[in-house]
Structure 1
Amino acid sequence: MQRASRLNRELQLLNKEPPPGVTCWQQEGSMDDLRAQVVGGLGTPYEGGIFNLEIIIPERYPFEPPKIRFLTPIYHPNIDSAGRICLDILKLPPKGAWRPALNISTVLTSIQLLMSEPNPDDPLMADISSRVQVQQGNILVQCQKMD
């Protein structure tokens, strides 16, 4: 019951005061299955793009982080071709930084920040990471090819 009321509060807050460029909603008939859209930030290779994400809420939420993946293909060193995201707050300690005090809004804002500031030192896609470190302009070209 605590999980359901917390999730309802989070979704109400996301609808009332969404982070800029972020939309989130429940899939029909399922409290555990959410979708989100994140708009690519201004001045980034993803500017103008709309990226769809799947959010699965685990049974032990908020004591376990939500499972989030990109449904929209994205060329990014910290996001693999299956849409999995390498972000510390999506993992439990000791390797991760998830805490029950975090929420879906914070996670979506962190994903949006990761899109603006890739972390080439902790890549899921090593080939993309090496290109980010060498040629920032090449990323823009590759992102435009995916449109």
Structure 2
Amino acid sequence: MELNTRRIITETTRLAKEPIEGITVTPRGDNFRHFDVIIEGPPQTPYEGGRFRLELFLPENYPLSPMKILFSTPIYHPNINRLGKICLDILDSKWTPALRISSVLLSIQQLLSSPNPDDPLDNTVAQHWRENLEDAHKTAREWTNKHAQE
């Protein structure tokens, strides 16, 4: 068994045994590299009460290369664009093989609690966030209510 296959099995087994609060990870079919993820909107944020769907894929050379993660659920957030791409340094320039699926998902959950409009992926949303935080939160709540309810 290849080292990266063993690593994936170890990580997914641990996720099943020790689930992360507010995060559900489900393998997609019989492809052990492809997962459906649901992240619950953190309390006391504009995303509270929402259930956000993400797609996670582990490339062939994982963990040497970062996993690919996209939001499937539309979300109004300065660090997530309309295509679902996430601006998070550990998914790009700060990736290290020491990172695990669980730590990356926790970082995404934290990004929902603490958006960073100074390092945006969606400049329009970031500008709204910087210029009128209360109104940006209102829009984010509206999007959550419209798109992230099941």
What TM-score do the two structures reach when normalised by structure 2? 0.92
The aligned counterpart of 2:96 is: 99
The CA distance in 1 between the partners of 2:18 and 2:49, in whole Å, is: 22
| Identity percentage of aligned residues | 43
Asked if the contact 1:57–1:66 (Cα under 8 Å) also holds between the matched residues in 2, the reply is: yes
1:134 and 2:96 are equivalent in the alignment: no
Q: Superposition pairs for residues 24-43 of structure 1, below 5 Å? A: 24-43=25-44
Number of residues of Structure 1 aligned to a counterpart in Structure 2: 143
Structure 1 unaligned segments of length 5 or more: list them: none
| 1:21 and 2:18 are equivalent in the alignment | no
Partners of 1:11 and 1:25 within 8 A in 2: no
Is the contact between residue 64 and residue 98 of structure 1 (CA under 8 Å) also seen in structure 2?
yes
Give the Cα–Cα distance (whole angstroms) in 2 for the partners of residues 85 and 69 of structure 1.
Answer: 7
After superposition, the C-alpha distances for 1:91-128 in whole angstroms (9 at most, x for unaligned) are 1xxxx111001000000000000011011111011111
Unaligned runs of 5+ in 2: none
Deviations 1:67-88 (A, max 9, x none): 0000000000000000000000
Q: By how many angstroms is 1:142 displaced?
A: 1.1
- TM-score (norm. length: structure 1): 0.94
Deviates more, 1:27-36 or 1:45-54: 27-36
Identify the residue that residue 6 of structure 2 maps to in structure 1: 5
Kindly report structure 1 stretches of 4+ aligned residues shifted beyond 3 Å. none
Secondary structure of the corresponding residue to residue 32 of structure 2: coil
